[in-house]
Chain A
Amino acid sequence: MIANPVMRHAPADPDHDVVVRLTRVSVTYGSGHTAVHALKDASAELRRGEVLIVNGPSGSGKSTFLQVMGALITPTSGDVWIRGRSIRDLSAEALSRLRLECLGFIFQGYNLLPTLTAWENIAVMLDLKGVRGREAERRSRALLETVGLSHRADAFPRQLSGGERQRTAIARALAADPAVILADEPTAAIDASAGRQIATLLAALAHDDRRAVLIVTHDARLRDFATRYLCLDDGRLIDDERAEDATGVAHAPA
């Protein structure tokens, strides 16, 4: 696990490393004069090895941005490409398959299954990937060890602290070995110290494992961990800046 969360070197071949691309995506809920334009003409890319943080006030379209990046909804116009595949015409089942293959989710409320222990929560993801029985348990416990929770493997979510739950959720997201991790307010429900641990962990996933990490958050402290930073306001992306690396030199916009 890396202690320094900030990536020091930009990818050698940026296009090759793009795992999710939004091209002029708009999302509108409802129609007529009651229509809500949650996302307007947004274009963005998410690359391997980067931590993209998306910020913005409530109602700015952050959740919609996350959902469209996560193939949970299809755009009203524009297109989303995940690992080179357009999601526009995919059925609900195909979208679900795509999420299982490529994407890992971390939720603000952890969303662990309360009737299963920590390792069993992870084993569910492995089960979905066809890994079952003792092998699933072995891998689940190993993943918990990766996030420093091997001693809590048999605890139920209600017996875990907020930070432990979120680390379990991260282990669950990793179980399917996704190229992309999408995190919705991952530090909102936990204390500052636990929040820093979670952010460090997520950054390490990008920098050590070369996964793409998207974090939607209000937490300004997480900006320190960003490779890139986006801001949403009233459904529009208004900013896209690279985080400064340790040398203090800003990267060019994507």
Chain B
Amino acid sequence: MTWRLAWRNLAHERVRLLMTLAGVAFCVALMGSQTAILIGCIRAAAELVDHAGADLWVTSKNTRAVDFPVEIDETHRYRVLAASGVASADALIVRYTFWRRPDGGNEVVTIVGFDVATGVGGPWNLVAGSVSALRLPDTVIIDRLYAERLGVRALGDVFDVGGRRARVVGFTQGILTFTQAPYVFTSRENALQYSRFQEGLTTYVLVRARGDADASAVARGLRAELSHLDTVSTRRFSVRTSYYWLVETGVGIALIVGVVLSLIVGTIIVSQTLYTTTLERLPEYATLRALGAPTGYLNAIVIQQAVMGAVLGYGAGVLIIIGLLVAARGTHLPIAAPWWLWVDLAALTLVMCVGASIVAVRRVLRVDPTSVFR
């Protein structure tokens, strides 16, 4: 009966109910979209690291993000290969260069030069063409999301990249970059040309540990062997990269502040509505109290109103987020909504609404049953 009473109390004032639900939905949509963008940014920022297929990354000292590479001597790769527990060591070149569009304009791109033979550090989500085509000189693979921006219409189109010819031999789908300088995958040999990189240099050495070796022990050995370089696990390098972009640049902080502000605004809206509704219904709560209802019964009515507001507002908010996700599909906006985002958002909405009911609950706790006689 408390659920029925709670719902009737909520639905009795339709305009107020709609305003409450709009408030909760807006708050959910804002929190959800901000968090989805945050997750998208985190993923985009470290995507190259996460998909490289390495256990360890050997980088120059204090490399803060994969997008800020500093060259190291490629001969270190041989020292790595000689280390205990190492199965393979591949050089990876990450450099910025210019891509000349057919209209004459330039775009900054991120050249990713990897060893085509092993595929370590190479593209993923390939939807057209093949990686092996990169064995040919002057060939590149780009992501379809950036095709229009780069002026690419079809496989086989030829462009000027870093002053050299580049033919598109493959498309990936959905590889975003946080820097908005699209990844251009190519062979290590081509990368040296496109980025005018000096022969004998690289930016990273990607290490895979043997199956029977402990990756952290391998890392410790490499740190001892190459003390002037950094050796970090893929996970750590991924976190370091995300941390740089999201925390050190303040981008993530801004998004998190947005989420927190949404939460506060939502709490205030729900709190105010519930309190107003409760004040209006105080004589009814006093009647129930006079009739013998325990305070728990009265509190349940208020909290159940909050839960209903949370559920309905969440539903409406989710529809808004889904609309946003659909609209963002095919754009460069890094946005991702894994299943746990929906669950966490639901829990947060529930906590927000129930938390917002505390003020109303406190008022109900003080209700005077003798007021029914006034």
Residues of A bordering B, CB below 8 Å:
63, 66-67, 70, 72-73, 92-93, 96-101, 103, 105, 107-109, 111, 113-116, 120, 123-125, 127-128, 132, 136, 172, 176, 184
**With the chains together, A100 CA to B297 CA distance in Å?**
13
Given contacts A113-B5, A116-B4, contact A107 B373 (CB under 8 A): yes
Q: Is B69 located at the chain interface by the 8 A CB criterion? A: no
Determine which of A96, A113, A184 lies in contact with B284 in the assembled complex, contact meaning CB atoms within 8 Å. A113
Q: How far is the CB of A217 from chain B (nearest CB, A)?
A: 13
Cβ–Cβ contact B9 & A96, under 8 A: no
Q: In the assembled complex, which residues on chain B have CB atoms less than 8 Å from the CB atom of A116?
A: 4-5, 8
18 further contact pairs, Cβ within 8 A, besides A100-B291, A115-B12, A124-B5: A63-B373, A70-B290, A72-B369, A73-B370, A97-B292, A105-B291, A107-B287, A107-B372, A109-B372, A111-B283, A111-B290, A111-B372, A115-B8, A115-B9, A124-B1, A127-B2, A128-B291, A128-B293
Determine which of B4, B12, B295 lies in contact with A93 in the assembled complex, contact meaning CB atoms within 8 Å. B295
Given contacts A115-B12, A116-B4, A120-B1, contact A67 B291 (CB under 8 A): no
**With the chains together, A100 CA to B287 CA distance in Å?**
12
Cβ–Cβ contact A93 & B372, under 8 A: no
Cβ–Cβ contact A184 & B291, under 8 A: no
Q: List 14 A-B contacts (CB under 8 A).
A: A72-B370, A73-B370, A96-B293, A96-B294, A107-B373, A111-B372, A115-B12, A116-B8, A123-B1, A124-B1, A124-B5, A124-B288, A127-B1, A128-B292
**From A123, which residue of chain B is reached at the shortest CB distance?**
B1
**From B8, which residue of chain A is reached at the shortest CB distance?**
A115
Q: How far is the CB of A38 from chain B (nearest CB, A)?
A: 11
Q: Is B240 located at the chain interface by the 8 A CB criterion? A: no
Q: In the assembled complex, which residues on chain B have CB atoms less than 8 Å from the CB atom of A127?
A: 1-2
Q: In the assembled complex, which residues on chain A have CB atoms less than 8 Å from the CB atom of B283?
A: 111
Cβ–Cβ contact B370 & A97, under 8 A: no
Q: How far is the CB of B281 from chain A (nearest CB, A)?
A: 9
Q: Is B77 located at the chain interface by the 8 A CB criterion? A: no
User: For chains A and B in complex, what number of residue pairs have CB atoms within 8 angstroms?
Assistant: 74
**From B293, which residue of chain A is reached at the shortest CB distance?**
A128
Q: In the assembled complex, which residues on chain A have CB atoms less than 8 Å from the CB atom of B4?
A: 116, 120
Q: In the assembled complex, which residues on chain A have CB atoms less than 8 Å from the CB atom of B294?
A: 93, 96-97
**With the chains together, A53 CA to B369 CA distance in Å?**
22
Q: How far is the CB of B295 from chain A (nearest CB, A)?
A: 7
Per CB-CB distance, the 3 closest pairs between chain A and chain B, nearest first, are: A100-B292, A115-B8, A127-B1
Q: How far is the CB of B68 from chain A (nearest CB, A)?
A: 62
Cβ–Cβ contact B292 & A176, under 8 A: yes
Q: In the assembled complex, which residues on chain A have CB atoms less than 8 Å from the CB atom of B2?
A: 127
Determine which of A67, A111, A132 lies in contact with B287 in the assembled complex, contact meaning CB atoms within 8 Å. A111
**With the chains together, A72 CA to B291 CA distance in Å?**
10
Per-position contact with A for B1-27: 1 when CB-CB < 8 Å, else 0?
Answer: 110110011001000000000000000
Interface-central residue, A107, A111, A123, by most chain B CB under 10 Å:
A111
Q: In the assembled complex, which residues on chain A have CB atoms less than 8 Å from the CB atom of B208?
A: none
**From B369, which residue of chain A is reached at the shortest CB distance?**
A72
**From B284, which residue of chain A is reached at the shortest CB distance?**
A113
